[in-house]
Structure 1
C-alpha cells in the first residue's frame, strides 16, 4: 500500500522504514509525518502537532545537529543569534540593536531571544536593582487569548516566593507592549558548569539537586508543574544558591526550532528564555526531549508533578555521569528512547557514583510514574538522608564551623573603626542637644532652631548619599515611593517645599537655616566618605568570610531556613546588623518573629528600629498602588480577550471587572496561605495544600461561576468628595500659612514680646474669615492634615478632619477649662491629635 506524504503529496510505493519510530521521513521533502501505528502508540491529541514537524527550521521538534551524540552541551557560540523586529514597542524604530522603552526600567543589553519575545538585562529604577526584563513579541502580544492565559500563569508563578525559585517581580503593559520582570541571577547555569568543568562529584551534584527539589516542592504544593527541568534551567548564583528558572511560563505549541536563540554574550541567566538551548541542540515547546518523561513524550498536556521528578532525575544523571541517559540523532529518537529504552544505571558509567545514589536516580527515572517517588517531598527527604542531613527545627553545625563564625561575628561588631564611629556620632548628637537647650535658655531660639536644622539636613543628606553608595533597603523603598508618585503628588510635594521656604523667610530664619544646613551637608559627606568607608574596608573581608562559610554549608545540603537560623543563633546579642548584611532587611523581620524562639531567645538588641514604621507606611501605599495597577491591567487584558470571542464591549468590560476582582481575591488567598505557613514556622509545610491548589487553578484557568458585582459604594464616594486628599491638602495649607502669618504678626519668636494673643488680621480680608487663627494649634492642625496624605481610607479622612477641627476650635468652647500651665487650646490639640492617630491606625482601607 503506497504511503502519501501529507506535505508534498508524494506517493511512495515502497515501504518506508520507521526504524522502530512512530514517524516516517519523506525522501522528497525531508519532513516527518506520523506512521500508521502512530495513533496506537501515542495519543491522538498530539497528531495535530505532529503535522507541524518539519526539518527546515520551522518545526516544533527539529532534526538535531550531528553533534547531538556528544555527551556534553553544545557551546553557545554555535547557536546563532537572530534579530527580529517583533520585539520592539510601537514607538520605536526597529533596528538590529534597538531596545524598547519600558517606563520604570533602564535596559542595558540583550540576554537572549525566544519565540515569545526578547530578554533584556535591565535596571528597575524604583528599587535600583538589576532584573531580567522580557518583552513579548508583537506576534503574541496581538493575540488577546494567549496574552490573557500567559498573564494568569505568570502571575500565579509570581506568588511563589522561595529562595530556590527565580522570583517573578512585575507584569505590565505599556503602549500595547507586554512585559514582565524577573529576578536576575548573576552566576552560571548547571549546563554552563557541565560544559566548562565536566561532571560533578556525587555529593556536590546531590546538594545542588536537593536545592532545586526544595523549590519545586513549593511549586508542586501550589499545583504548578514546571515541565522543562534541565541543567539550563538550574541557575547557580555566586553564593552557591541554586534557583529553578522558567517556572510557570507558557510554552507556545507552534514555536519554531530557530525561534529560540540565546545570546552568546550572555554571562548570566535569568530563566526568561522561552526555551533555552539544551544539551542536545534540539528543543520542544512543551519540554526538552533530552530530559522529558515518557508520559510527557506521549502527551505533554496530561502530565502531573511526577514528570518533574523524572526530569530532575535526568539532570542528576547527567551531573554525576557527564553524559545523557539517552542519545539520538533526532528529537523523535530521543523521546522514543525515554519512553521505551531501558536506562543504563549511573554506577555502571561512572565508578564514583555509589550504588545507593544510583538506585535513587533509577527510581526517579522509572518509566511508569507509579514506580517513581510520588512527591517531590519524598525526593527531598531521600536526598537529605543520603547526604546525612536531618532536617529539624533546631540547627546544628560542627564546632569548628561555629567557632570560626563566632570569631567573624566578634570582628564584625567590634572592629576598631566601627567603635570609634559610634563614639563620634553619640558625642556629636549629645553636643548638639545640649547646645540647643543652652541656646534656648539664653534666648537665642533662632540659633537653636538653626542647630536643629543642621542635624536634620545632615541626616537627610547622609541618608541620600549613603543610600546611593550602598543601595540600602530603606533608601530603595523611599525611592520606589517617590518615583511612583502621581503628578498631583508631585504638585503637593513641590508646593510644600515652596511653602516651607516662604515660612522660613517670613520667620527670618531662612539664612540661618541655610548656613547651618551647609555645615550639615559637609558633615554628612565627611561621615560617609571618611568614617563609613573605613568601616566598610574592615568589615567587607569579614562578610566575605561569612558568605564563604554559608556557601560551604549550602553545598553540604543545608536549606536556607537552617542557614538563617544558624546566623540568628550564633551572631550574638547584636545579631540583626550582621544578619541584615547577609540576608536582607525583610528576611531579618521574618527571622525576628520566626527563628528566635526558644533556643535563640535571650537578650537581643534591635538594629535601627526607627526604620520600621517608615517601611510599614511605604508598604501600605505601595500595596494600594499595586492593587490598582494590577486590577487595571487585568481588566484591560480580559476585556480584549472577551472582545476577541465576540462579546459586546459593555458586557466584556463588566465581565472583565468581575474576573479581575476574582483574580485578586485568589492572589490574596494564596498570600494568606503563605503567611499562615510562615506563622507555623519557616520550615513547615504549607497549610491547606488542597485549598491552595484549587485557588491556583482558579487563578490560572478562571472560574465558571458567576462573580456578583460589588455594589457601588455611594457613601465612600461621598466621603471622598467631601474629605478626600484634595480637601485635606487645601485646608492643611491654609492652616500652616495662617499659623506662620499669625506668628510673625505676634512676634512669637521674640521672647521679649511674649506670645501674642491677637487673632490674625489681614488687610482687605474680613476679620470673621481669620479670627479663628489665634493660637499655634492651628499650625499643628495643618501638620495633622498634611500627614494624613500618606494614609488612605474614607474613615481615616473623616477622623483626621474631625481631629483638625477639634484642634482649632475646641478651646473656644467654654466646657474646656484651663489648668495652669495647661491651657484650653493645649487640651484641644491633645484631643484632636488622639482622633487623628485613631484615624491613622484604624481608619485605613
Structure 2
C-alpha cells in the first residue's frame, strides 16, 4: 500500500497495519505526520500533516518505536503477516516499507524499515545498506565525532539496526566500518546481552570470504561494533552497472560466498539475509559475506527465545524473554530478511529456519546476477512473500538465453519451495557449482603450466629488483661501517666519538623504522603503534622512566650534544634511504605484483578456493618466497603459510625473510591478546550484569553470574582461536563456535570447572602484585639506577682518566685470559688457568672523598647514608633485570637482593659493608634467576 510523505514526497509503504490513526515520523525528512489506515482493506492509507505537535505524543513516548493508534478497530486476521500465539491471540503486524535513499550508490530496490515506526510488533525487515564497502556512502547527518578508539569520518548508511559509519581506528591507523546500535534497542539490557553474545561469536569467525568483525564496545551508553572495511563494491552495484553477469563470472562470485557461508553454518550461524547488497567484492576479486551475526532485532530475539521456551519449556540462565521484563506480549513468529530474496518458510517464522534458508537466498542472488533481476518483483513485502511461497519461479534460461540449462537446474534446486527439495547443505551446492565450472576442491591442486611459469617469472623479477639488492647491501655496509668506527674509537679511547657513532647507528635505524612505517604502514610498525596506543598509565610511566634513564646516561657520559648532532644526521640518512631507494624498489616490483594479482583474480573468478591459491603461491615461489608472499597477502598469512607449506626439499624449512621481527611480534601479540581478553571480559561482564538485573536478579547475584559468564566466554574464545591456528591434521573435533560460546554464557561452570587452576588471575593482578609486580620493580630500578648515575656525574667519577684506567684493566684481563687459554690448550693442562691474576684497575674513587647525591626533596641524612656509593646502581640494575619476568615469584628474590645491595650497611649486620653488600645482593639476584622464574 504505497503512500508518500506529505512534506518531502518521499515514497513509503504500509504493510499489514491495523486500522486506526497513527502519529509518526518520515525516515527521510524526520518531520511528523498523521497516518490514517481505513477499516476497509480495499482503501489506501492516507498521510496528512499534523495540525499540532501534541498529536505526536503517542510516538514520542515509545522507546521501542511501536506506535499506538489514536483509534483502534478490530484487525482483520492475516495468516501470513498477522501471526497468532498458541493461545489464539492475534498479534498486530504494523511496519513500514521505505524505498532506499537514492543518494546511496549501489542501493537496490529492497524494503527497509522506517526509523521511527513499529518494528517490534510484526514483520521484521532488516535491510541495511551494505555499509562495509567503499562504494556505499550517503551525505553525513548529525553524527558523533569519536566512539571509543575510533574517529568517525562519515556516515555510510542507516538501516534496521542503526547507523553505520566509516571510522578510523586510531591504534592501527586503518579504516573500519563502525555499526552503532539504535538507542531504543540499547535501552533493552536483555536484548543487548543476547545480541552481544551473537556478535562476539561472529567475531571469532575468521575466513577469507567473511567480513571480519574486529571489536565491540560501549562508549557513553552507545553500543558499537567495528568490522572490516572492504575496499570495493557490492554485487548489487556490479549488477546495476552491468545489468547482468556472464554465468561463469556469476558462479565464481557465488561460489566464494557459498564457502564463507558454509564455514558459518559449520559454526551454527545462519545468516538469514543473504542478498547482493550483503556480498562485497574487493579490489582483489574476493567476495566477502557481510552482516553475518549482526542482522537480528529485538522482536527476532524474542521469537528465538519463545521457540526455545516452546521446545524445552525451560529458560536457560540469562535468556529470559524480553516480554517478561517489558510486560509486552512476545510474538511466536517473526520474519526477518529482505523479501525479494527470502525463503518461503522464513516469511512465516525466521526463528525456525535452518541453513537451507540461506541456500534459497543465495540461489535468488545467483538468479539476480545472471538475469539482472530477482526471481520475483512486487510493490510490497506482502506481495513478494506471497509470490515466493506460492508462484513458480521462471527458469533463468527462459529469461536470458545464454544461461546454460545445467546452471539453471542448479539455481532452481537451490530455490525450491520446500526446504527438503533443495540441496541439503552448502557443501552440495559448492560441489555442484564447482562441477559446473569444471574444477574440484577435494583433490590435490595442479596449476596450469602457464600459471606456474607466470608466477615463477614474477617472483624472479620481484626478488631480483636491482635497487632492492643495492638497498640491502647499502644497509648492511652502513651497519658494519658504523660498528667498525665504534670499535676503533673505543680502542683509541675516543669514547665520545664511539658513543656518537653508536647513537648514529641506533637513531638511523629508529628514524628509518618510523619513516618507512608511517609511509608504508609496515606490519611491525603497525603492531608497535597498536601496543603503544593500548598502554596503561603505568606503561606510560615505564616508558617515561626509560627515556629519563637514557637521557641521564647521556648526561653522565657527556654525550648529549653528540647524540643531538648525530640524531639530525640520522634523520637525514633515513629520509634519503626511503626517498631514493624504497620508492624505487616499489616501482621496480609493482609490475610483477600487478601481474600476479591479476592472475590470482582470474583464478578466483574461475572458482578456485583462496586457500588453494595461497598454497600455490607459497609452493611455487622458490626458496626465497616469504617476502613476495608477505607483500601479496600480509605477514599473518605468511606465518600461517610457513607452518603449513613452508618446507622445501627433504622437509627442510626454506629461507625466512626478516625473521628478527618474529619474536618481537610474538611478544606484542601476547601482550595485546592479554589486554584484549581483559577488556572483553570487563565489557561482557558489564553487559551480562545489566541484562540479568533487567530480569529481576539482585545486584550481587547478577554480578557474580555475569563475571563467571564473561570469564567462560573469553576463555572459550581463546581456545577456539588457538585451535584455528593448528594445522588441519592436528585439530581435534570441537563444538561449533556458536554452540561453544552460547553454552559458555549459559552454563559457565561447565567450561570453567576443568580449567579453573589455569584461570586464576596472575599474581601481578592481585593487590600484592601491584606492589611487587614487574612494572613496579622496573620503575623502582630506574629511579635507583638514575640516582646512581646522577651521583657519579656530580662527583665527576666518569673522567677521561678513570675511563682509560677502566679500559686498560679490561684489556689486560682479556689479554691474560687469551694467553692462559692458549697455553692450557697446547699443554692440555687445565691447572694453568689457576694462574690468572686480576690486574689492579686504578680508578681513582674514594668514598671518603665523594659527596652525597644532591637532589630536591632528598634529605641530607638519607643521601649521606644511602646515596654516596654505587649501591643504588647495583640495586637498580637487579630490579630492572628482574622486571623481565612476570609474576611475584621473582620478587621474593629480587626485592631482598636489591634491599641488601642498597641498604646492607644500614641493616646492622656485622661485616656487611658497602662493597660486600653489593656482592651479597648480586648473589641473591643470581639465585633468583634460577629459582624465581615462573614456569
Among residues 142, 153, 159, which one is paired with 2:204 in the alignment?
A: 159
**Aligned 8 A contact 1:136 1:179 in 2:** yes
**Is it true that 1:170 corresponds to 2:215 in the alignment?**
yes
Q: How does 1:826-837 map to 2 (within 5 A)?
A: 836=929
1:110 aligns with 155
**Aligned 8 A contact 2:209 2:256 in 1:** yes
CA deviations over 1:597-630 (Å, ceiling 9, x no partner): 5679556211111111111111121112111111
**Is it true that 1:567 corresponds to 2:617 in the alignment?**
yes
**Aligned 8 A contact 2:851 2:868 in 1:** no
2:236 aligns with 191
Q: How does 1:418-497 map to 2 (within 5 A)?
A: 418-497=468-547
CA deviations over 1:337-356 (Å, ceiling 9, x no partner): 22222222222222222222
**Is it true that 1:549 corresponds to 2:594 in the alignment?**
no
How far does residue 83 in structure 1 lie from its aligned partner after superposition? 11
* Structure-2 change in CA distance of 1:839 and 1:160 (3 Å): farther
* Structure-2 change in CA distance of 1:621 and 1:603 (3 Å): closer
* Structure-2 change in CA distance of 1:106 and 1:520 (3 Å): same
Q: Separation in 1 of the partners of 2:749 and 2:113?
A: 45
**Is it true that 1:121 corresponds to 2:166 in the alignment?**
yes
Among residues 803, 819, 831, which one is paired with 1:751 in the alignment?
A: 803
**Is it true that 1:720 corresponds to 2:752 in the alignment?**
no
* Structure-2 change in CA distance of 1:503 and 1:43 (3 Å): same
Q: Separation in 2 of the partners of 1:198 and 1:39?
A: 33
Q: Which has the higher contact order (CA 8 A, sep 6+)?
A: 1
Q: TM-score, normalised by structure 1?
A: 0.81
**Aligned 8 A contact 1:758 1:774 in 2:** no
How far does residue 675 in structure 1 lie from its aligned partner after superposition? 3.1
Among residues 43, 57, 61, which one is paired with 1:27 in the alignment?
A: 43
2:789 aligns with 740
2:254 aligns with 209
* Structure-2 change in CA distance of 1:497 and 1:377 (3 Å): same
**Aligned 8 A contact 1:736 1:779 in 2:** yes
**Aligned 8 A contact 1:122 1:130 in 2:** yes
**Aligned 8 A contact 1:132 1:181 in 2:** yes
Specify every segment of 5 or more residues in structure 1 that has no aligned partner in the other structure, as ranges: 10-22, 85-94, 256-283, 811-822
**Aligned 8 A contact 1:805 1:832 in 2:** no
Among residues 663, 675, 688, which one is paired with 2:733 in the alignment?
A: 688
**Aligned 8 A contact 1:126 1:480 in 2:** yes
1:769 aligns with 866
Q: How does 1:59-458 map to 2 (within 5 A)?
A: 59=96, 62=97, 96-252=141-297, 286-391=336-441, 394-458=444-508
How far does residue 286 in structure 1 lie from its aligned partner after superposition? 1.0
2:36 aligns with none
**Is it true that 1:51 corresponds to 2:92 in the alignment?**
yes
Q: How does 1:794-805 map to 2 (within 5 A)?
A: 794-795=888-889
* Structure-2 change in CA distance of 1:691 and 1:425 (3 Å): closer
CA deviations over 1:190-244 (Å, ceiling 9, x no partner): 1111111111111111111110011111111110000000111100001000000
Query: Pairwise CA RMSD of aligned residues?
Result: 4.0
1:615 aligns with 665
**Aligned 8 A contact 2:900 2:918 in 1:** no
* Structure-2 change in CA distance of 1:481 and 1:704 (3 Å): closer
Greater shift, 666-675 or 350-359, is seen at 666-675
* Structure-2 change in CA distance of 1:172 and 1:538 (3 Å): same
Larger radius of gyration: 2
Greater shift, 368-377 or 32-41, is seen at 32-41
SS in 2 for 1:38: coil
Q: Separation in 2 of the partners of 1:481 and 1:578?
A: 27
* Structure-2 change in CA distance of 1:27 and 1:600 (3 Å): farther
Q: TM-score, normalised by structure 2?
A: 0.73
CA deviations over 1:108-127 (Å, ceiling 9, x no partner): 11100123221110110101
How far does residue 829 in structure 1 lie from its aligned partner after superposition? 7.0
CA deviations over 1:521-574 (Å, ceiling 9, x no partner): 211111111211111121223222221111111111111111111111122221
Specify every segment of 5 or more residues in structure 2 that has no aligned partner in the other structure, as ranges: 1-15, 22-38, 47-68, 118-139, 301-333, 807-840, 853-859, 905-915
* Structure-2 change in CA distance of 1:529 and 1:78 (3 Å): farther
Aligned length: 757
* Structure-2 change in CA distance of 1:776 and 1:329 (3 Å): closer
**Aligned 8 A contact 1:221 1:689 in 2:** no
* Structure-2 change in CA distance of 1:693 and 1:139 (3 Å): closer
SS in 2 for 1:118: strand
CA deviations over 1:409-440 (Å, ceiling 9, x no partner): 11111111111112211211111111111111
SS in 1 for 2:147: coil
* Structure-2 change in CA distance of 1:562 and 1:360 (3 Å): same
Q: Separation in 1 of the partners of 2:488 and 2:566?
A: 17
Q: Separation in 2 of the partners of 1:491 and 1:669?
A: 33
Greater shift, 463-472 or 626-635, is seen at 626-635
CA deviations over 1:43-66 (Å, ceiling 9, x no partner): 75799896223xxxx43xx4889x
How far does residue 287 in structure 1 lie from its aligned partner after superposition? 0.8
* Structure-2 change in CA distance of 1:693 and 1:732 (3 Å): same
**Aligned 8 A contact 2:407 2:436 in 1:** yes
**Aligned 8 A contact 2:169 2:175 in 1:** yes
* Structure-2 change in CA distance of 1:705 and 1:402 (3 Å): closer
CA deviations over 1:773-818 (Å, ceiling 9, x no partner): 3698656435414x53xx64444655765887899999xxxxxxxx
